[in-house]
Amino acid sequence: MTTPAYKRVLLKLSGEALMGDDAYGINRATIERMVADVAEISKLGVELAIVIGGGNIFRGVAPGAQGMDRATADYMGMLATVMNSLALADAMRQAGLTARVMSAIGIEQVVEPYVRPKALQYLEEGKIVVFAAGTGNPFFTTDTAAALRGSEIGAQIVLKATKVDGVYTADPKKDPSATRYQSISFDEAIAKHLQVMDATAFALCRDQKLPIKVFSIVKPGALKSVVMGDDEGTLVHV
């Protein structure tokens, strides 16, 4: 069996990635396909943690949240990530994988609280850890949660899964001549005003010298290619 390029990774999934072609919510076929990709790298011996957003769930209630206090809306978003995490963990269970959901906010009747030593133990045991509820604080995105948790667990890289296969010189949907960066430094990405992650998450990854790989979760086999170190997506590095 070919050896993966990374032993421990943090996968950042957007909530929108779970929607498929639906307007909001969770598309079952989409989540099952993602779980199949996760199973493939888990079988390679890669220790995997996941942070997932809640935009797909929150999108359904967004019109009613207009004018709402920002902190309250953010807490609602955290609960949406818990829902996504439970759905993802259940789909992994049905696929024969062992997953543990750990929440940054206390809802012990539903999922266990995030405790770093316990998360590290789960990873060493080969279990997949899903970090829910972001950082547990309003005003911080799940990108920041991914950077934070990735740093805490000693991940070698943050894999940012999107619907685009990397970072481009311009928006490829608007500019057909846009080209994909194979790799780019943090400083160069900042200088070029490239939106890889939100500013807080990006700064944390840069300070911790934690590389980011941006790739398409929609592309079949892309996750495995990234883990194997192939030329897939865009690597953002120090």
Ligand-binding annotation for 14, yes or no, is yes
Ligand-binding annotation for 192, yes or no, is no
Ligand-binding annotation for 55, yes or no, is yes
> 183: part of which helix (H) or strand (E)?
strand 183-185
Ligand-binding annotation for 171, yes or no, is yes
Give the Cα separation of 89 and 128 in Å (integer).
9
Ligand-binding annotation for 221, yes or no, is no
Ligand-binding annotation for 12, yes or no, is yes
Strand partners, 184: 236
Ligand-binding annotation for 139, yes or no, is yes
Ligand-binding annotation for 25, yes or no, is no
Ligand-binding annotation for 144, yes or no, is no
Number of Cβ atoms within 10 Å of the Cβ of 76:
17
Ligand-binding annotation for 59, yes or no, is yes
User: Do 132 and 144 touch, CB atoms closer than 8 A?
Assistant: no
Ligand-binding annotation for 162, yes or no, is yes
Ligand-binding annotation for 118, yes or no, is no
Ligand-binding annotation for 136, yes or no, is yes
Ligand-binding annotation for 169, yes or no, is no
Give the Cα separation of 188 and 210 in Å (integer).
16
Q: Which two tokens stand for residue 36?
A: 């199949």
Nearest to 4 by CA among 213, 237, 238, 223: 223
Ligand-binding annotation for 137, yes or no, is yes
Binding-site members are 12-15, 54-55, 59, 74, 135-142, 162, 168, 171
Binding residues for ATP: 12-15, 55, 59, 162, 168, 171
Which amino acids are annotated as binding site for UMP, given as ranges?
54, 74, 135-142
